[in-house]
């Protein structure tokens, strides 16, 4: 019993001490800066006095007699104020105790040298040079050592848990270099994470210590995960090549680690980012897409001082094209969009971001199916007119367009015809259509209407040779509203199931910034009527993508081999009009361009004379709500289109677009690709 009571009293004593230390830490942390500086000044004064007293004491003078020795009093009277002034000059009192780093060590060394020199000069008045130098070094060294110990003690009070011993989630750090050490030091103050160990591929670092943490080889990943009961790991190697970074991330994701990435190291070092900015690795970093660095070349200077218009400016591609164009110094950037919310969002973003300084940004609400509105927009830019149009407005969700075929035909095909005609009539310099891989041998209405839009633009080149018309075709973009990735993210957040339409379905992926940069570049390379195809890299199996995203979230896949997994993948069957794989070329004939990521396709097209009557019939069928007739014309115009049985429109038999008294009953326009 007595032993129990002893243990209990020790425990209570420890708890009381811990509580007292926490209270002191809280009080000091919240104190004004001048109070903290005054406390450190008092501690340093004590350190200097103690150092000054140590030399006579070491020489045999009793401490009780020191204060009565006149020489010692003179020494302290000179050494103390000048020493404190030296420390102030070295910005000792500008240092933040909680974030002591290598710069603090440098200041300590300089302070030691300075205090030693000061003590030596004072001793020279009483003894020879050799002895004064020795006594000066001893005094200065002791003084700076005691000052350093005072700061270490203050750091222990302010940060009682120490590096790697907090209460946050255990975190492994991949990379024991400078960035990893800086991250671990920053995490020492953050309650969210607790760094527990470094992982590094350099065998020379194995079993060494960086700060308070040990460095382990990558082969010990699983053992460390079990030991510390964590699946969280941060990659802290900014110098990694993208290929090596993907290899490491693939390995970590396969082991179901939740992978975090540090902010830009320069920002972390400069204190511009908090540790809370540690972010989860995005799925695009696992898909093998390299960053395209399209420096502002002589080619892109074409836009300087010109008037540029983007349709679908609030959509995924349209908004990014607008952002990129805003950096190329056009005189005026016209944002054309049917969605008020989307237009307001991109307009405000460009105004507030500073990307478009000096650029006049003109937001225009309107539909590409409204010929009167288009005419007004183009006429308003006279006399100089519009120099370039990037046409990204479209309905793009395959199942929705399949069930609303007439709306898709009116917007994607007839809307493109109205826009191209207005651009040609007003002698726009360049017209670029943003197209899709679904336009190649389409099996759905969306793809067929986009292919017809390509044919319309090709015919417009024949009709309006004064304008350079071109098309840019590519696959899926990561993060767009129509991409499968946002759907998977929502399903994973709900705990599943993640739905995949077919186990063998594959798709090409490209990041939105990369696609937008290449669209702009391809449009500048055009001479008239070309179809440009972007290099989409290797196709991605959607089932593998779903598995990667589940593992990237820190969860495990539940299947026959792993019945205890977290999230199930459910195969739902192909949707109406959906293909197992998409293609980028119709005739499999391409030629290279100056940009290695852009190819020019040589494809057959319809002449303006052949296409015009088809468009007239299509417009009539759409205006009278004749779905079957419209789909028949679409099949006649688009070679290779195989209509699905689900294609149709709820408004069949009703007029959905007609001109009455000069007014247009408008179909809503789609957001950008």
Task: Report the catalytic residues.
Answer: 438
SS3 for 137-150 is HHHHHHHHHHHHHH
> In Å, how far are 451, 535, 632, 636 from 610, measured between CA atoms?
15, 31, 16, 11
Q: Which residues of 281-291 are buried (b: 16+ CB within 10 A; e: fewer)?
A: bebbbbbebee
Beta strand 567-571 with 557-558 is parallel
Sheet holding 360-365, edge to edge: 360-365, 332-337, 307-311, 388-391, 430-436, 468-474, 530-534, 598-601, 590-592
The answer to whether the beta carbons of residues 495 and 489 sit under 8 Å apart is: no
The rounded distance, in Å, linking the Cα atoms of 27 and 1 is: 38
Give the H/E segment covering residue 235. strand 232-235
SS3 for 491-513 is HHHCCCCEEECCCCCEECEEEHH
Residues 6+ apart with CB under 8 A from 269: 182
Cβ atoms within 10 Å of 149's Cβ, excluding its own = 12
What is the dihedral sign for C-alpha 647, 650, 652, 658? negative
Residue 354: left (phi > 0), alpha (psi -120 to 50), or beta? left
Give the H/E segment covering residue 571. strand 567-571
Give the CA count within 13 Å in the CB-facing half-sphere of 392.
30
Cβ atoms within 10 Å of 576's Cβ, excluding its own = 17
Shortest CA distance to 339 belongs to which of 308, 363, 320, 322?
Answer: 363
Tokens of 235: 């990659």
Shortest CA distance to 603 belongs to which of 569, 640, 577?
Answer: 640
Residues 6+ apart with CB under 8 A from 453: 394, 412, 413, 416, 417, 433, 435, 439
CA 624 to chain centre: 47
Residue 145: left (phi > 0), alpha (psi -120 to 50), or beta? alpha
The answer to whether the beta carbons of residues 419 and 364 sit under 8 Å apart is: no
Tokens of 86: 């030296």
> In Å, how far are 138, 215, 389, 526 from 459, measured between CA atoms?
91, 65, 17, 15
């Amino acid at each position: 019993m007595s032993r129990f009571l002893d243990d209990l009293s020790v425990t209570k004593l420890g708890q009381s001490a811990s509580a007292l230390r926490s209270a002191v830490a809280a009080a000091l942390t919240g104190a004004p800066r001048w109070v903290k500086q005054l406390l450190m000044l008092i501690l340093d004064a004590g350190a200097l006095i103690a150092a000054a007293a140590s030399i006579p004491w070491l020489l045999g003078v009793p401490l009780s007699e020191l204060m009565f020795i006149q020489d010692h009093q003179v020494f302290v009277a000179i050494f103390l104020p000048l020493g404190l002034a030296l420390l102030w000059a070295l910005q000792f009192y500008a240092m933040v105790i909680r974030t002591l780093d290598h710069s603090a060590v440098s200041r300590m060394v300089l302070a030691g040298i300075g205090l030693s020199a000061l003590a030596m000069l004072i001793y020279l008045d009483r003894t020879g040079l050799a002895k004064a130098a020795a006594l000066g070094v001893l005094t200065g060294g002791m003084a700076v050592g005691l000052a350093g110990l005072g700061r270490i003690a203050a750091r222990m009070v302010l940060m009682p848990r120490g590096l790697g011993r907090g209460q946050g989630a255990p975190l492994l750090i991949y990379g024991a270099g400078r960035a990893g050490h800086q991250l671990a030091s920053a995490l020492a103050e953050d309650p969210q994470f607790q760094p527990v160990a470094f992982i590094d591929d350099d065998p020379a670092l194995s079993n060494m210590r960086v700060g308070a943490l040990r460095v382990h080889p990558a082969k010990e990943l699983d053992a460390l995960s079990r030991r510390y009961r964590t699946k969280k790991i941060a990659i802290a190697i900014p110098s990694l090549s993208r290929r090596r970074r993907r290899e490491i991330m693939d390995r970590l994701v396969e082991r179901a680690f939740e992978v975090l990435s540090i902010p830009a190291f320069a920002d972390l070092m400069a204190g511009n980012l908090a540790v809370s900015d540690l972010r989860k690795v995005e799925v695009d970093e696992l898909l093998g897409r390299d960053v395209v660095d399209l420096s502002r070349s002589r080619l892109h200077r074409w836009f300087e001082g010109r008037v540029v218009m983007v349709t679908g400016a609030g959509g995924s591609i349209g908004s990014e094209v607008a952002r990129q164009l805003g950096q190329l110094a056009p005189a005026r950037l016209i944002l054309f969009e049917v969605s008020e919310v989307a237009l307001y969002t991109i307009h405000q973003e460009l105004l507030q971001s500073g990307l478009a300084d000096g650029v006049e940004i003109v937001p225009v609400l309107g539909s590409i199916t409204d010929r009167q509105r288009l005419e007004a927009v183009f006429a308003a830019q006279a006399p100089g007119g519009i120099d370039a149009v990037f046409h990204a407005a479209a309905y793009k969700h395959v199942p929705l367009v399949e069930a609303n075929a007439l709306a898709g035909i009116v917007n994607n095909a007839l809307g493109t015809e109205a826009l191209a005609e207005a651009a040609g009539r007003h002698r726009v310099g360049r017209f670029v259509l943003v197209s899709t891989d679904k336009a190649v041998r389409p099996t759905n209405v969306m793809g067929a209407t986009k292919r017809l839009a390509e044919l319309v633009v090709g015919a417009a080149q024949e009709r309006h040779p004064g304008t350079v018309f071109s098309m840019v075709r590519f696959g899926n973009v990561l993060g767009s509203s129509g991409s499968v990735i946002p759907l998977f993210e929502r399903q994973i957040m709900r705990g599943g199931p993640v739905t995949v339409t077919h186990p063998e379905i594959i798709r090409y992926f490209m990041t939105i910034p990369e696609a937008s940069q290449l669209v702009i570049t391809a449009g500048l390379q055009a001479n008239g009527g070309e179809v440009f195809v972007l290099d989409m890299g290797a196709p991605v199996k959607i089932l593998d993508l779903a598995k990667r995203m589940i593992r990237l979230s820190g969860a495990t896949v539940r299947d026959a081999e792993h019945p205890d997994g977290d999230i199930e993948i459910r195969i739902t069957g192909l949707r109406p009009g959906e293909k197992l794989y998409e293609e980028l070329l119709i005739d499999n004939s391409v030629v290279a361009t100056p940009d290695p990521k852009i190819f020019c396709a040589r494809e057959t097209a319809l002449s303006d004379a052949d296409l015009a009557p088809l468009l007239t019939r299509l417009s009539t069928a759409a205006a009278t709500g004749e779905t079957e007739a419209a789909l028949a014309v679409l099949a006649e115009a688009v070679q290779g289109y195989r209509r699905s049985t689900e294609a149709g429109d709820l408004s069949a038999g009703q007029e959905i677009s007609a001109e009455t008294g000069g007014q247009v009953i408008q179909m809503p326009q789609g957001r950008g690709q």
